[in-house]
Amino acid sequence: MAKPGALASISLLVCALTLPGCGRTGSAALVPADSAARADGGALCSNDCGDGREGGGDSDDTVPSLDCGPPPEHRVLEPFAEPDPGWIQAGPVLELTRLAVARIRVADPEPLVAGATVRVAVQTNLLHDCWLLGPLRADFSGEPGAVVVEQLAFRERGGECTEVERQETRVLELTAPAGCLWLMDGASETSATITIAPAEAGAEPKHSTPTGSPCQRDCECRSPDHCLAGAAGTRVCGVACVLDSDCPAGSCVLDGELGVGTCQPHAEDQCAKDTDCAAGEVCREWDGILSCHPDGRLTSSDRHECASDDDCAFPGTRCVLMSRSDGKRGRCDIPCATDSTVCPPAHSCLPMIGREPVCDWVGE
């Protein structure tokens, strides 16, 4: 369950276009992890909680070969548009851009199993202290099995930036059938190949396994959990994360050097009154624990055209240049660090190709 007013998702949950039972062909289904149409066993994908092969359940079919062979041709994405020459910048603004990925690595131990979430750590180097790493996007519109990764970022223009060298991680969550996936960065030659084995037959009833309990496939877990690799080769239901803001309730506990972790609930209250929270947040009870949540006053009048950050009054908003939009002018928005960044009520970071990585009103 997401925090009040937030339609959260954990980075991207992708149902590969080759997954048997998917409701689409020729393109990937990208949906929020807590959507009614879950990509791991709901309206968009196979609903049988089977073994990741056509028909699901117990099967004596020959296991498909995991010899992946040569990768598809590496595809580079088109560059973003330039700013409108008629737009006048009056101070610091954030410009949406695409960064080259330094490394793509599977964060879960082998074997990777069909129907269970595979966490992929995508690591990127940031060169300035005023740059903000944004969400990942994944494009399945090319050859079957080919996944083009796009790492978005917000680059500050017009401010005082210091050169630094730091690496940050975002996590891409994949649910796919047995076989091969080729992940390639859309802004560099960085790539990785993933092989996924068939799952064992005989799963628990769909969406009934509680958080922290053993599982084999995503379809066994209660929403918004996924079946994640745990210690000593086990798999348990949980929510993957890289930042605290990825967690519907609680905080992100990282494990391993790749910067990928799982959400753990708070054991005690995090606040007692509204003044204990940051600007734009209020203290509210959630799952029996008091914690800070975004205040619900962000309106269309707050998200207006701007020339600099000084024009944006609502807490957390910045003047963002919309690189995907015609004209590319500034607008006051809350940047999303991941697709599960907690937004004010009725707003969400939607993990859609072509959508700006900001807190959009869910009706847009």
Is the residue at 60 inside a domain?
no
Residue 14 has pLDDT above 80, yes or no: no
Task: Give residue 149's pLDDT.
Answer: 93
pLDDT tens column, 124-165: 999 888 889 999 988 888 888 899 999 999 988 887 888 888
**C-alpha pair distances (Å), 364 with each of 25, 112, 165, 211, 318:** 25, 37, 37, 32, 19
pLDDT value of residue 261 = 85
pLDDT in tens, 197-240: 887 766 556 778 888 888 888 888 888 888 988 766 788 898 88
With cut-offs at 50, 70 and 90, classify the pLDDT of residue 52: very low
The kind and range of the H/E element at 110 are none
**Residue 8 binned pLDDT confidence (cut-offs 50, 70, 90):** very low
Higher-pLDDT residue of 179, 55: 179
Using one digit for the tens of pLDDT, what is the confidence trace for 53-67? 433 444 443 444 567
Q: Is the pLDDT of residue 116 over 80?
A: yes
Residue type, 196: I
Q: What is the mean pLDDT of residues 183-206?
A: 83
For residue range 235-258, list pLDDT tens digits in order. 889 888 888 878 866 788 887 666
Residue 45 pLDDT greater than 50, yes or no: no
**What digits encode the pLDDT tens for the residues 66-85?**
678 888 899 888 887 777 77
- At 364 the pLDDT is 55
Residue with tokens 């009054």: 313
- Asked if residue 66 is part of any domain, the answer here is no
Q: Is residue 76 part of a domain?
A: no
Confidence of residue 9 (pLDDT cuts 50, 70, 90): very low
Query: Hey, what amino acid is at 339?
Result: D
Contact 302, 317 (CB under 8 A): yes
Q: Specify if 74 maps to a domain.
A: no
In a domain, 67, yes or no: no
> Each residue of 286-331: pLDDT tens digit?
667 888 877 767 888 888 999 999 999 888 899 998 765 555 778 8
Mean pLDDT of all residues belonging to the chain: 75
> Which structure tokens are listed for 188?
């560099």
* Number of independent structural domains in the chain: 1
Q: What is the pLDDT of residue 263?
A: 86
**Per the domain annotation, does 36 fall within a domain?**
yes
pLDDT confidence band for 104 (50 / 70 / 90)? very high
pLDDT category, 352, cuts 50, 70, 90? low
- How crowded is the C-beta side of 63, counted as CA atoms within 13 Å? 14
On the question of pLDDT at 175 being above 70, the answer is yes
CA distance 302 to 192: 42
Q: Dump pLDDT digits (tens) for 281-296.
A: 788 876 678 888 777 6
Q: Percent of the chain beyond pLDDT 90?
A: 19
In a domain, 364, yes or no: no
Range of 113's domain? 1-54+86-355
Residue 257: inside a domain, yes or no? yes
pLDDT value of residue 29: 29
* Percent of the chain residues past pLDDT 70, beyond the cut: 73
User: Does position 2 have pLDDT exceeding 50, yes or no?
Assistant: no
Q: What is the DSSP string of 7-29?
A: ----SEEEE-TT-TT-S-SSS-E
